[in-house]
A = this chain, B = another copy of it.
Amino acid sequence: MTDKRAGLVVFEPQGRRAEADPEANVLVLAQRVGLDIESACGGQGLCGRCRIKVEAELPPPGVEEIEALGAAVDFRLACQVVAPAGATVWIPPESTRQKQVILTAGREIEFELDPAVKSYQIQVAPPRLKSIIADRERLLNALVPVVESASRVATPLSVLRRLRRVMPQGEGRVSAVLRYDWELLDLRGPDGPGPLGLAVDLGTTTVVAYLLDLTGGRTLAVTADTNPQMVHGEDVISRISFADRERDGQKILAQEAAECIDRLARAACREAGVEPRDVYELLVVGNTAMHHLLLGLDAAPLARTPYAPAASDSLEVKARDLTINLADEAVVHLLPVKAGFVGADTVAVALALEADEIDEPTLIVDLGTNGELILAAGGELTCCSTAAGPAFEGGHISGGMRAGPGAMERVTINPADLEPTLFVIEDKRPLGICGSGLVSLVAGLLRAGALLPRGGFNPKTKSDRLRQGPQGWEYVLAFEGQSGLGRDLVLTAKDVSELQLAKAAVAAGASILMEAMGLDRVSRVLLAGAFGNYLDPADACAIGLFPRVGPEMVQGVGNAAGTGAVMALLSVRQRERARRLAGRMHYIELAAHPDFSGRFTDGLIFPDP
């Protein structure tokens, strides 16, 4: 009998033990006890990623191992050494297979870095006259140790044409960039930069791009710009109408979206000191109209019953076919859309919030011109879209503006005299009221009793700020002298109605989703998007934006759509999960729901303060 303890190898810091095996290198031995050590060359001693320290007597490293280790002289390669019985193996954090941790809704989401695009460093054999192998097949043979079924890897024409220049004509090393271990996107010298990816949240108003290092999962730069399609209309309906009505309208909008992404990619690469030609994958989320307009699909049917998208499942197209200039063979992956007005951005929000794992009834709300709602409970999901109207973005409001410098984003109102204290973005003189400011203002006036539950101003209120204007009663938020407008900044009775319409649409949608899932209340409301960050939960509850919800239950979760896009870019499993999420969400078309108009009318009323 051998001494059991002496026959073991200990892995630290995990403290796992494996039986020593002279036939198994440390990379293999670690796998046996469930420890994944990083490796990009399949254990060929080439990539230098599987660095470990071993406390034991070992034969000295060979020339190749020394070369692969470079400056890391204290280390050894797990794939090149066998740990004798009694050895302790230290696995440094950078050598363990990487977990990604992303913070959303106040909690960490952990997932494995598992990008579609990976770069493999491989050693190719020289061609031999006795047994001639074509360059492509010599490359694929070298891929066999790292890629299962390497012989079936598809080789696009552009890569085939470059192959000869890059393949070493003797023995040598190259980097092969593969997508899904299935398509050879590029072949490069051994020491180039790792593959990059770009996650894009293609919003109707704002486009945000996140540049990521696909090997390490790090965000290298974030850039944002106004959607250049804005000149053809602020909302999706006017864009769809432009595409349908104008000669080449569809092409113009597709081109503008592509150019915007192109610009953001270049700007992000400049910021990070990298090259757009090293970006191999683009992951795009956006509402269904943006999705169709980017792809050049006819979006007109999205604006008329039955509002059917042209395609809903995830799609992949070459970036060059959309005239986006990244790597030659770069691919655009579009997450699935759910319906004409529940897009890939909503699917990305659901992914970022792990809606499929939510147990307690939770309402997820993404408010803009359109409001998308998801109700999650016990792993079940329903969703809908409400035409909330532009009030939440400051649209159709007499003094309304987008959230930007000079926008009043929050206000407190003294119930005694209705004197306001304004919170203005960048502390400027107020130029207008943005969405969160509108909600805050109406909430304050309701609390002060200056607005009545049906939305009318209370004529009994005593204040210089409440007066008859050209269109009936109005409240003066800032007199000419205080405003940056050169005139009074006011809230009119019509402005209040606009907000009532918007909030009634959201409340009706939420109530129908709750009914569909047999719930009479929710435990939490998660507010996605920038609006959710600015909005004060107490104000949202004061205007009755969500049925039977208290402020302590409302939480802003930031740009969850962007987070979801990044997750799907970094992980094939996460993008598959997004597909499953889209499939599992039960969509309710409010336009076809018999109770919608009744609920909507009920929702117009503000709660008693």
Which A residues lie at the B interface, using CB under 8 A? 127-130, 132-138, 151, 154-157, 160-161, 163-165, 295-298, 301, 305-313, 315-317, 321-322, 337, 339-340, 587, 589, 591-592
How far, in whole Å, are A160 and B127 apart by their CA atoms in the complex? 43
Instruction: Flag if A160 contacts B295 (CB, 8 Å).
Output: yes
Instruction: Flag if B317 contacts A157 (CB, 8 Å).
Output: yes
Task: Please name the 6 residue pairs, one residue from A and one from B, whose CB atoms are nearest each other, closest first.
Answer: A134-B312, A136-B311, A134-B309, A129-B306, A164-B298, A127-B308
The answer, among B160, B297, B311, B589, for a CB contact under 8 Å with A129, is: B589
In the complex, which residue of chain B has the Cβ closest to the Cβ of A318?
Answer: B157
Instruction: Flag if B311 contacts A160 (CB, 8 Å).
Output: yes
- Residues of B near A151 (CB, < 8 A) are 313
- Residues of B near A305 (CB, < 8 A) are 129
Copies of the polypeptide in the assembly = 2
How far, in whole Å, are A137 and B312 apart by their CA atoms in the complex? 7
What are 28 A-B pairs at a CB distance below 8 A?
A127-B306, A128-B306, A129-B591, A130-B589, A132-B306, A132-B308, A132-B589, A133-B308, A134-B308, A134-B309, A135-B308, A135-B309, A135-B310, A136-B312, A136-B313, A137-B311, A137-B313, A151-B313, A155-B315, A156-B317, A157-B322, A160-B295, A160-B297, A161-B296, A161-B298, A163-B297, A164-B298, A164-B310
The distance from the CB of A186 to the nearest CB of chain B, in whole angstroms, is 16
How far, in whole Å, are A311 and B592 apart by their CA atoms in the complex? 57
The answer, among B129, B132, B301, B307, for a CB contact under 8 Å with A164, is: B301
How far, in whole Å, are A307 and B133 apart by their CA atoms in the complex? 9
The distance from the CB of A555 to the nearest CB of chain B, in whole angstroms, is 31
In the complex, which residue of chain B has the Cβ closest to the Cβ of A307?
Answer: B132
Instruction: Flag if B164 contacts A134 (CB, 8 Å).
Output: no
The distance from the CB of A522 to the nearest CB of chain B, in whole angstroms, is 25
In the complex, which residue of chain B has the Cβ closest to the Cβ of A296?
Answer: B161
Instruction: Flag if A132 contacts B340 (CB, 8 Å).
Output: yes
Instruction: Flag if A130 contacts B592 (CB, 8 Å).
Output: yes
- Residues of B near A138 (CB, < 8 A) are 308
Instruction: Flag if A310 contacts B340 (CB, 8 Å).
Output: no
- Residues of B near A136 (CB, < 8 A) are 310-313
In the complex, which residue of chain B has the Cβ closest to the Cβ of A309?
Answer: B134
The distance from the CB of A114 to the nearest CB of chain B, in whole angstroms, is 20
- Residues of B near A315 (CB, < 8 A) are 155, 160
In the complex, which residue of chain B has the Cβ closest to the Cβ of A339?
Answer: B132
Q: A154-B316, A161-B298, A165-B298 are in contact. List 8 more A-B contacts (CB 8 A).
A: A130-B592, A134-B308, A134-B310, A137-B311, A157-B296, A160-B311, A163-B311, A164-B310
The answer, among B164, B306, B317, for a CB contact under 8 Å with A297, is: B164
Instruction: Flag if A163 contacts B310 (CB, 8 Å).
Output: yes
In the complex, which residue of chain B has the Cβ closest to the Cβ of A153?
Answer: B313
- Residues of B near A129 (CB, < 8 A) are 305-307, 589, 591-592
- Residues of B near A321 (CB, < 8 A) are 157
- Residues of B near A163 (CB, < 8 A) are 297, 310-311
Instruction: Flag if B160 contacts A310 (CB, 8 Å).
Output: yes
In the complex, which residue of chain B has the Cβ closest to the Cβ of A308?
Answer: B127
How far, in whole Å, are A137 and B313 apart by their CA atoms in the complex? 7
In the complex, which residue of chain B has the Cβ closest to the Cβ of A587?
Answer: B132
- Residues of B near A589 (CB, < 8 A) are 129-130, 132
Most buried by B among A164, A317, A322, A589: A164
The distance from the CB of A288 to the nearest CB of chain B, in whole angstroms, is 9
Most buried by B among A133, A297, A308: A308
- Residues of B near A339 (CB, < 8 A) are 132
How far, in whole Å, are A307 and B128 apart by their CA atoms in the complex? 10
- Residues of B near A155 (CB, < 8 A) are 311, 315
How far, in whole Å, are A155 and B295 apart by their CA atoms in the complex? 12
- Residues of B near A309 (CB, < 8 A) are 132, 134-135
- Residues of B near A165 (CB, < 8 A) are 298
How far, in whole Å, are A591 and B312 apart by their CA atoms in the complex? 58
In the complex, which residue of chain B has the Cβ closest to the Cβ of A288?
Answer: B134
In the complex, which residue of chain B has the Cβ closest to the Cβ of A591?
Answer: B129
The distance from the CB of A339 to the nearest CB of chain B, in whole angstroms, is 5
- Residues of B near A134 (CB, < 8 A) are 308-313, 337
The distance from the CB of A253 to the nearest CB of chain B, in whole angstroms, is 13
